[in-house]
């Protein structure tokens, strides 16, 4: 039991540093740009290089987990991620930092899909609620902790590391995760012969690359035809990918997305909610931190503290939602969470519009707390609902696909809620310009609308939560 708990700590730490890899760098970017004389394109690539390769590689990483064994794939991913983090921290030119970030994202894509697979393997269905709640809580905590930790590390400037500390902090954590993983995690090798679906790998990677690259460029161009074409081309390739996957399954092959997953209505419905869910989540995080820094002149650390209640209440909501409410309320807890999150964002809008002058720091906190509680009520139960009836033999593929959809949704959040905000603020004349208030109001209203649509889509989820019996009725693919 103690060994299993330490193993859970190891995989959760890996998830935490992966999520920090996105949020912590946003605070350090101005210092990076100045120190390395990075061009605007290189500065953007420091962020997008990681998220793009991570999202594109997730489905492939899931299949490699079955091919290599979960523990071996996980450890290779952590070692590569740690070494890439060290390379980021030591980079002395911008192009080298961008290259290291790309490598970091690729190894994260090998590391992360094994996490949910391990939880399904190590815990019986009746035991999974608590580890799933812990996993889900980390999503919100890391999102808020990134800007705070980044601001602290830069301010402390330990050993003169400045911005490099946001990458070097991953090194000791990575070493600890590897040691724990080798000692506590099961090898979990696939009993049957596993083959790589090369055509599926190429189609999935190309489609996700085109979609995500197009979304990333939408907010930064006056001529979006190329970006829209990329998104359309990626969507067409994704349809071709799904057709190829069905054909491969029917021929007795080993597709990346087995027909058993495609035909599970609960999994498909949860994916539909997931693709909408992270749009308002990531949109809110981006917009509120930009607003308080650009308009209210907050420091990076203060901007992080604005969203701290979101992180704290996300953890609380995920724990309560997954362990206590989901078994009793089923899909209602997910729908209630989406409505609660919408209310939180609406309160932030009200704090801005009702302020006689500039909104006070404290006026943002109730909305951030309520929004975070809503996120927690969704993220834990939705993940548990999506994977509850997935057989262990498909755990890695399901985890990789579910995470890929989350990354895609996050990119949609940047490209819709985020681009709405930046498009309106492009005409501002200075920090005191009231256009910032209008931009935040319109952008968060877009996020609220998407959250409400997600609540309607959630009617497709099962009314009642049924604990998976996969571990007793499905053949175990690992030993």
pLDDT by residue (tens digit) across 355-365? 888 899 999 99
Mean pLDDT of 387-416: 71
pLDDT at 172: 94
**Residue spans per domain, the chain:** 2-472
Tokens in use for 204?
Answer: 């999935």
How far is CA 91 from each of CA 5, 44, 47, 50, 435, rounded to the nearest angstrom?
A: 36, 16, 15, 15, 38
The burial class, CB within 10 Å (0-12 / 13-18 / 19+), for 339 is: middle
Residue 414 DSSP class? I
Q: pTM score > 0.85 for this model?
A: no
Closest by CA position to 212, among listed 34, 405, 67: 405
Higher pLDDT, 214 or 448: 448
CA distance 138 to 409: 18
Closest by CA position to 74, among listed 120, 17, 119, 115: 115
Which region among 257-266, 373-382, 412-421 has the lowest average model confidence (pLDDT)?
257-266
CA distance 296 to 293: 6
Which range, 157-161, 262-266, 276-280, 451-455, is most confident? 451-455
CATH of 2-472, one of 3.40.50.12280, 3.40.50.740, 1.20.1250.20, 2.40.30.170: 1.20.1250.20
Per-residue pLDDT at 478 exceeds 60: no
pLDDT at 472: 38
Q: What percent of the chain has pLDDT over 90?
A: 29
How far is CA 380 from each of CA 42, 136, 309, 320, 451, rounded to the nearest angstrom?
A: 35, 5, 18, 9, 16
pLDDT in tens, 75-123: 999 999 999 999 999 999 999 999 999 999 999 989 988 887 788 788 8
Compute the residue count for the chain: 479
């Amino acid at each position: 039991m103690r060994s299993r708990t330490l193993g859970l700590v190891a995989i959760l730490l890996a998830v935490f540093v992966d999520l920090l890899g996105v949020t912590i760098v946003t605070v350090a970017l101005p210092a990076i740009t100045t120190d390395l004389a990075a061009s605007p394109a290189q500065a953007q690539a420091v962020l997008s290089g990681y998220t793009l390769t991570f999202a594109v590689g997730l489905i492939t990483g899931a299949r490699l987990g079955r091919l290599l064994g979960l523990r071996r794939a996980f450890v290779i991913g952590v070692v590569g991620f740690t070494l890439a983090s060290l390379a980021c921290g030591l980079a002395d030119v911008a192009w080298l930092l961008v290259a290291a970030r790309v490598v970091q994202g690729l190894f994260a894509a090998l590391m992360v899909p094994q996490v949910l697979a391990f939880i399904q393997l190590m815990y019986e269905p009746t035991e999974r609620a608590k580890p799933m709640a812990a996993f889900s809580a980390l999503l919100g905590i890391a999102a808020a902790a990134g800007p705070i930790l980044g601001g602290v590390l830069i301010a402390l400037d330990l050993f003169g590391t400045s911005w490099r500390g946001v990458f070097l902090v991953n090194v000791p954590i990575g070493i600890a995760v590897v040691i724990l993983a080798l000692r506590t995690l099961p090898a979990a090798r696939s009993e049957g012969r596993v083959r790589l679906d090369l055509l599926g790998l190429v189609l999935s990677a190309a489609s996700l690359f085109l979609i995500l690259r197009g979304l990333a460029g939408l907010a930064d161009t006056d001529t979006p035809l190329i970006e829209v074409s990329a998104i359309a081309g990626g969507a067409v390739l994704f349809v071709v990918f799904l057709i190829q996957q069905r054909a491969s399954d029917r021929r007795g092959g080993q597709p990346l997305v087995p027909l058993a997953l495609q035909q599970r209505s609960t999994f498909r419905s949860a994916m539909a909610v997931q693709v909408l869910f992270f749009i308002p989540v990531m949109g809110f995080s981006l917009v509120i931190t930009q607003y308080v820094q650009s308009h209210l002149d907050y420091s990076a650390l203060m901007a992080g503290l604005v969203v701290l209640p979101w992180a704290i209440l996300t953890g609380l909501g995920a724990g309560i939602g997954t362990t206590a409410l989901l078994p009793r309320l089923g899909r209602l807890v997910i729908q209630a969470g989406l409505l609660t999150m919408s209310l939180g964002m609406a309160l932030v809008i009200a704090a801005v519009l009702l302020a006689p002058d500039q909104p006070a720091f404290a006026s943002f906190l109730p909305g951030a707390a309520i929004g975070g509680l809503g996120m927690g009520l969704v993220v834990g139960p939705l993940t548990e609902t999506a994977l509850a009836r997935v057989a262990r033999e498909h755990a890695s593929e399901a985890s990789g696909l579910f995470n890929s959809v989350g990354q895609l949704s996050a990119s949609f959040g940047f490209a819709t809620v985020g681009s709405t905000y930046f498009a309106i603020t492009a005409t501002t004349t200075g920090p005191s310009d009231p256009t910032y208030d209008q931009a935040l109001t319109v952008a968060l209203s877009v996020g609220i609308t998407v959250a409400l649509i997600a609540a309607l889509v959630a009617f497709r989820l099962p009314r009642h939560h049924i604990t998976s019996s996969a571990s007793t009725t499905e053949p175990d693919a690992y030993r």
